[in-house]
Every structure is written in structure tokens, then in C-alpha cells.
Structure 1
């Protein structure tokens, strides 16, 4: 499956860069930053949204202020790869609120998940009473984040 890349001009790139820094920018503020009228800036934003390049807008929350003091990456290796068990595992991952993102991988692990938990006890429960008990899971390995010295960055456009 080949995904067609959307063609962007320099103004589109500057607009996307500005919105990744601050999604609250008004058409007026975007226009000033891009040297466009507010209506031109607004139309460009709407076009990029309609083309699916801007997938949505969200607030970034501070996990520590929400009591989520443990961040970890959890790798899972599957014992079996049957469609039914993989579907079951995917459903399990989607229902767990502490798993904030998940990827399928090549290599040693089949899945990588980013999790936030209140404490180590909660992480331990997730690993031992939720993930390892799934019939398709062979192995779970976790890495606890000690410090995130570079925050999640905008995509390079």
C-alpha cells in the first residue's frame, strides 16, 4: 500500500510548524506569522484539515499533576500469532487507560506500549495481572523512564 504524500509549499510548512507549537493560534495570529490575511491563513488551515494532514487538536496534560508518577515502555512478545488471539490482545490494549499508545514492531518484541501509572504497584499489576495472563503473551519486558530530557516534539515538516 503506497500512501501519497501531500504537497506542501513553504507557507504550509510554516503554518503547520506554528500550529504544532500552539494549536490555539487564531486566523489573525496565523496571518501575522505567515504574512497573510486572516482569511487566507484560515482557508489554508481548513484545507490542511480537510486533506487530513491535521488529524486533530489536543491538550497536553502534565502527568505528574494528575498523579501519574511512573512512565514506562512495555514490550510484549506473543506466544501465538493467530488472528483471534491477536484481536483479543489488541482489544485488551485499547481498553486499558494506562496504555496511552501502542505499536506493532519488527524484531524481538511484537508490541511496544507507552504507559503511565500512579506508582510501581499499579505498573506491576498491569504487567502481571493484565498482560502476562493473556493466553497469547509469552514475555513482557518493561523499561521505567527515569527522566524525559526531551519532551515529545513536533513532527519534522
Structure 2
């Protein structure tokens, strides 16, 4: 799908505040409300917009410790990869996960209520995934930037 200037403006505005009214969106983009609605619907149908979510402050709901976990897998057991990937997808504490190059095979962003909570989670991770060779954890001391905004220039 080729994005128009109006599509890009809609994406920029929706990433800033997905609760913007259709009238406000149309006005800021310079379209009629019906045209803005059609474009927005098309962006959703084409999976350019994957979903609209609310961003919650983790400290206000008990998730106060962020960890970066680098996981190294046993490479000679590829049949054990799907269970690990399922565990990642099904574990709510895993906020983000990437297959990576470098020392580890995967990097996970984990949000835990405490170090003890993370310790129990790590024990479950190892118990349920026998193909994990090792993992290293870094505790996030300070968040300088957090965001999900994709540049659409």
C-alpha cells in the first residue's frame, strides 16, 4: 500500500492520541470527516494500524522493575524453539521480545513487580524451556525514553 501525505498525517496523529475524535482528525489532516474515516479504516484493514491501545504507567499498577534479558538457546535442538516462542507470547511479563544477532539469540524486555517476582519467572522460564543454554539479565535503573511511535516521514 502506498501511503499518501494524508495517510502519513493520520498515522502521526493517531500515534500521538488514538482517542482523537474523527472531526478533530479530519480537521487537522485537512479532509472531510467521511474521507478521514475511510482512510483510517483502510489503514486498519491493510494492517498498517495494528491496534489501538492505552499506555499504562507500570509504577501505578505494581510493575516497578524492568529487566533486559538476553537468552541463548541450544542451537542443535530446533524442535524446542516453538515452545519457547509460545512461552514468550503467553507470558504477560514479557513486554517485548526480539530475535537478535550477537551473543544471545533473543532479547526480552520483562516487567516484574519485584526482583523476587522476576526470580520466580526466570525459574519457570528455565523449567519450561530446556533448550535455554543460559541467560543474562540487566536491571533497568532509569528509563530515558519509552515509546512506540514509528516515524512515518
- What is the CA distance between 1:113 and its match in structure 2? 0.7
Q: Closer, same or farther in 2 for the Cα pair 1:113/1:80, shift >3 Å?
A: same
Give the aligned partner of residue 17 of structure 1: 12
- What is the CA distance between 1:135 and its match in structure 2? 1.4
Deviations 1:48-97 (A, max 9, x none): 11111111111111101111110111110012442321112122222322
Gaps of 5+ in 1: 1-5
Matching of residues 68-147 of structure 1 within 5 Å: 68-127=63-122, 129-133=123-127, 134-147=129-142
Give the aligned partner of residue 36 of structure 2: 41
User: Does 1:26 find its partner at 2:21?
Assistant: yes
Gaps of 5+ in 2: none
Deviations 1:109-149 (A, max 9, x none): 1111111000011112222x123333111111111111111
Contact residue 80 and residue 137 of structure 1 kept, 8 A: no
Aligned length: 151
Determine helix, strand or coil for the equivalent of 1:121: helix
How high is the TM-score relative to the length of structure 2?
Answer: 0.91
Q: What is the RMSD of the two structures over their aligned residues, measured on CA atoms?
A: 1.4
